[in-house]
Amino acid sequence: MRSPDERVSKRGAFNTYSGSIDIPESLKEPIRRRLLRHAEKHYASAYARLDIRFKGPFCYVDAYTEPDMQGSAWTVTKETREEFAERLRSTPIHLCRLRYFSRDRWSVALHRWRKERYKPALFESGDHFGTPEEALDVGAIQLPLAEVREGCERALSGRRLATRIHLRQRTGKAKAG
């Protein structure tokens, strides 16, 4: 059997919709723990809980938040304040869908609410592939912005410098920074 990298490269042009393989059962729980640990470290104040589920080559990450009851949006519905809050608490924010290629080689897609579909996205490095934690950083843009900005900056700041150094090395420029 060919490796996932070979399966993708044999197709010619890069296609983020093909070349993946089903996530092995032995990898699901370690990936879940990695994502939860990363989310707790960088985005804990932005969500109440995360739901991570697996299906075939995909890992779906959804967040649930505590509703902001300061506004009066609930008054335009026929629900009580408590019913409205419970409905918002139980409505997921679809952060991202990861597609498995190998242990630390995943692609990421963001949920598009308008069409109820996932659309492939690039990682912060500009690459099509990254780790599950990097994919979560991409998907975190779907969380309420006030809480996410600080977590995203912490998570991505070290990678930006490493990416600049890597790109300069590839293009032949010696200076890093």
The predicted-structure confidence for 52-87, as pLDDT tens digits, reads as follows 999 999 999 999 988 776 665 666 667 888 888 888
pLDDT tens, position by position, 133-176: 999 999 988 876 544 444 544 455 555 444 444 444 445 544 44
Domain membership of residue 26 (yes or no) is yes
Split into its structural domains, the chain has a count of: 1
Domain that holds residue 15: 4-171
Cα gap 169→80, rounded to integer Å: 60
Non-local CB neighbours of 57 within 8 Å, separated by 6+ positions: 20, 21, 22, 23, 99, 100
Domain membership of residue 40 (yes or no) is yes
